[in-house]
Structure 1
C-alpha cells in the first residue's frame, strides 16, 4: 500500500526553470513539481529495487547500507507487520528522494531508519543534481511524522541526512553517536609507516609468516555467495566459541539477511566476499563493503587453528582491504564503529557519527523527552564504561552481548570486534 503525501509548495516545487528544463546531471525536469508518497506495503517496497538503486547512484554519500538489497532484506528478517514507513519523493516520474523508515515505540511513537543495530551507517537518499530534493523530502517526512518523533542514528559526516536536517521545519537536535575509526585507502606498506618502527617490524614479520603458511585468496562470485556466507558464519561461530560471540550472529534471521544481501551486493560491485584458503580448504572468510569513496570491513570468520598457529588474522584482513581500497581509488578505509586497541595501534582518525532527532512543532515536548532519555542513557553507559575500565564489574548489553568495559559502542556491529 502507498498513499500520496501532500507537501507545501515551498518544500517541493521549483519555479526558476520551465518544466522542460533538466536538473544538472539528471534527466529529471527541474521545473516540474515534486510528488510525495508513503509506502507501507513490503511488497511495494520490494518492487522499488531498480528505481531505488538508480537514485542511490545519484546520491554520492550513500553506502551499501542504503542499498535496496540491504534495506529490503533487513525488513524481511527484522521488520514488524504494519510498521513500514518509506517516504518517497519523485519529480517527473523519477525518484529524487527517499527516507526508509519504520515506526517504533520508545515508548513515544518514533520513526527510525531501517537497518537497526546491524547497520553501521544510516542515511536518506537525495538526488545530488536536484537542489529541491532535500526540502521536498523534509516536507514529506514532516507530514508523515504527525504524532511521532524522527530519530536518525549513525549518520556519517557528509551524509545526505545533513541536508534533510538543515531543511527541517520544526524542532530538531543534533547529537553525537558512535565513533568510527578511519585510515587512508593506501597499501599496507604505507600504513606501516604510521606505526613506531618496532611495531612495524613485528607486523612485517607477521605478514611474512602468513605468506609462508601458503594462504591464498579466493574472490567469491554471486553464484557462490549464499554458500560462502554460510561457511563464513560457521567459521565465525567456531572462532568465538566459548568467548562471548555476539548472539545475533548465530540467529537464522541474521544468516538469511546476509545470504540474501551479499549475493546481490557482490553482483552489483558493492561488496567483496573473500575466502582465505590453505591447501584448498577455506580457513577464513570476510565481507567488505564499498561505496564511492570508502571501503569497510563488515564481518569475518576464521578457524581457531589460525589463532592456535599465532597467525595475525586482523592484519591479514586489513592488508586485503587496504589493497582493495588503493586499487579501486577509494580514499578511505573505515574500521567502522568501536575503539578497540587493535584498531588504535594503526593511529586512525576518529570520526563520530551523528544522531538527528526531529519533530513537528506540536511534538516539541516529545522531542525534549526523547532527547533527555538518549542523553541520560548515554551518561549512564559512560559511567559504567569508566568504572569497568578501572577494574570494576562488567555487564552485558541486551542487544549485542558485549561487555560494557570492552571499548565497543553498544548497539552496533562491526567485523573485527570480539564477537
Structure 2
C-alpha cells in the first residue's frame, strides 16, 4: 500500500477470484467514469471470462483508490510461457485491452497504477495486447519509469455511430443503390428483428452458436466457438450486460423461425458487433446478412455520445464495403530496468513470430487464424474471419 500526503491514496493487488467478484459494483461505476473503456473491460465480461478461462493463483489486478473510491484498475494475469509475463485478462476472445481510470482523476490514477504495476512486475514483463489508439494504457506507457517498447497489433475497422442511411451515404452511388435494394429485399421478405430479454439470453446464445456453427460448416469455424466454456462465458456475461444496458442479443425471424442471431457489446463511446450466426438458407433467399445486422447495430449505436461503431478486428471484404476507417491497435511491452534483457528477448520473439506470420500469409492467403496459431494462443476470439 502507498499513501499520498493527505493519506488518501491506496494501491492494492487483487489476487483472489472471490475478492474480484466483490468488486462488481465499484468496478462498474469506474467503468462508466472511464472515457476510454471498451465493453471488454466491464466486470461482467472479465469475471465471466475468468470463470471459463482463468487459472487459479494467476489473477493479478492492480487497484488504486483515493479516499476509498476506486479510481484506477489494471486487470491482468500472470503466465509463465514463454517467460514470466503479466498479460491482460480477457485473452484472445477480447478485441481490446485497456486499464480503467477515473476521468475526473486521471493523473492520480495513472501514477498510482504505474507504481502498483511496477511493484507487481518485479520478475515479469508486462505484455499488453490490443491497445486502441487513445486508450488510457498509453498514458501508463508514457509514465513508465523502466524500459518499454511498442509494436503494431491487430487492425480494426470503425464507422461513425450514425443511422444506416448516413452510413450508406458514405458509399459510392452504385454501391449505395445496391445496399438500399438489399435492405428493401430484407423488409419485403418480412424478416423481423426481436430483441432478447434477460431471461431468454441463455437460449438465444445457444441458438446463435448453433447457427454460427451451421453457417461455417465445412469452412473452418473457429473451434473455440464450439466449446462449452465459450458458450458458458457468453451466457454469463451477456445476461449481466444485457441487464445493465452494455449488450444486446437479437434474433431475426422469418416465417416465425429464428434464422439469425447476434450479440453486440457497447460502452460509453464504442459499440461493436461481437458474434453472429445465420442459417445458410438465407443465402439462397439472397439475404445480405451483414447489411441486416449492421442496420440494427447502427440503430443501437446512434446518438451524440456513442462515439464509434466498431467492426472490431479484421479487415474482411464485406466490412470494407462500408468504407470504414482502419484503426491499428498497439502492443505495449513494459519492464523494470533490471529486466531489460527479458524485454528485449520478448521483443525478438514477437518479431520472429511476425515474420513467420507474414510468410504464412503470403504463401497461404486463404489460411485462417494464422496469427493466433503462430502465437501459441487459443484462437478463441474475435479473429476477423471467425466472426463473419
Q: Normalization by structure 2: what TM-score?
A: 0.94
Pair 1:65-2:40 in alignment: yes
Work out which structure has the larger RCO, using CA pairs closer than 8 Å and 6 or more positions apart in sequence: 2
Alpha carbons 1:172, 1:358 under 8 Å: kept: yes
Is the CA contact (8 Å cut-off) linking 1:111 and 1:151 kept in structure 2?
yes
Q: How does 1:177-188 map to 2 (within 5 A)?
A: 177-188=153-164
1:327 Cα deviation (Å)? 4.5
Correspondent of 2:334 among 327, 340, 358: 358
Listed as ranges, the matches of 1:122-137 within 5 Å are 122-130=97-105, 131-137=107-113
Cα offset, 1:203, TM superposition: 1.4
Gaps of 5+ in 2: none
Which of 29, 45, 50 in structure 2 is aligned with 1:54?
Answer: 29
CA displacement at 1:82 relative to structure 2: 1.3
Q: Unaligned 5+ residue runs, structure 1?
A: 1-5, 16-30, 402-409
2:117 aligns with one of 112, 120, 141: 141
> 1:124 and 1:218, CA in 2 relative to 1: closer, same or farther beyond 3 A?
same
Counterparts of residues 1-400 of structure 1 (less than 5 Å): 6-7=1-2, 13=4, 15=5, 31-130=6-105, 131-327=107-303, 329-389=305-365, 394=367, 397=370, 399=372
Q: Which has the larger radius of gyration?
A: 1
- Contact 2:221 2:386 (8 Å CA) reproduced: no
CA contact (8 A) 2:72 2:109 kept: yes
CA distance in 2, matches of 1:142, 1:49: 25
SS at match of 1:299: strand
Task: Compute the displacement of 1:74 (Å).
Answer: 0.4
Q: CA 1:300–1:414 in 2, change beyond 3 Å: closer, same or farther?
A: farther
Q: Partners of 1:54 and 1:329 in 2: how far apart? A: 18
Question: How large is the Cα RMSD of the aligned pairs?
Answer: 1.9
Q: Which structure is higher in helix share?
A: 2
Question: Which SS does the other structure have where 1:140 is aligned?
Answer: helix
Q: Mark the CA change 1:386 to 1:412 in structure 2 (over 3 Å): closer, same or farther.
A: farther
Query: Counterpart of 1:413?
Result: 382
Structure 1 stretches of 4+ with a deviation exceeding 3 A read 393-401, 414-419
Structure 1 residues 297 and 328, CA gap change in structure 2 (3 angstroms): farther
CA distance in 2, matches of 1:388, 1:128: 45
* Cα distance between partner residues in 1 of 2:242 and 2:262: 13
Contact map agreement 1:289 1:295 (CA 8 A) in 2: yes
Shift of 1:33: 3.3
Following TM superposition, by how much is the alpha carbon of 1:382 offset from its aligned partner in structure 2, in angstroms? 1.6
- State the secondary structure of the residue aligned to 2:117: helix
Q: Deviations over 1:17-54 (max 9, x none)?
A: xxxxxxxxxxxxxx443111111111111111011111
Does the 8 A contact of 1:110 with 1:150 survive in 2? yes
User: Is the contact between residue 298 and residue 415 of structure 1 (CA under 8 Å) also seen in structure 2?
Assistant: no
Deviations 1:356-408 (A, max 9, x none): 1000111110001001111221122122212334xxx847648579xxxxxxx
How many pairs align? 383
Once the two structures are TM-superposed, the CA of residue 308 in structure 1 deviates from its matched residue by 2.1
State the shift of 1:94 in Å: 1.4
Whether the 8 Å contact between 2:95 and 2:130 is mirrored in structure 1 is yes
CA distance in 1, matches of 2:326, 2:214: 31
